[in-house]
Copies of this chain bind each other. A is one copy, B any other.
Amino acid sequence: MTDDTRTTKLSLYPEHRALAGEEGIYGDLKLPSPGSGRFPYVLVNMVSSVDGRSSVGGRATGIGSRTDREAMRALRSRVDAVMIGSGTLRAEKLNLGLDDPGGRQPLAVVVAGAGDLPPREHLVGEHRGLLLVVPEGSPRAREVDDPAVSVLETPGCSGRVDLGRLLGALKTEYAVDRLLVEGGPTLNRSLIDEGLAHELFLTVAPKLLLGREAAIVSGAPNVVVGETRAEPRDLTLLSARAAGGELFLRYRLRRPRGPGP
Contacts and interface: CB of A to CB of B under 8 A. Distances in A.
A235 B245 contact: yes
Given A209-B230, A210-B231, A212-B219, 11 more contacts: A8-B242, A50-B202, A189-B210, A208-B233, A210-B232, A210-B233, A211-B219, A211-B230, A212-B230, A237-B242, A237-B247
Contact of A11 (B10, B192, B209, B251): B10
A99 interface: no
Interface in A87-121: none
A215 interface: yes
A234 B219 contact: no
Contacts of A189: 210
B208 A232 contact: yes
Number of copies: 2
A48 B230 CA distance: 16
Contacts of A236: 206, 245
Interface stretch (A51-59, A130-138, A144-152, A159-167): A51-59
Contact of A206 (B51, B206, B235, B241): B235
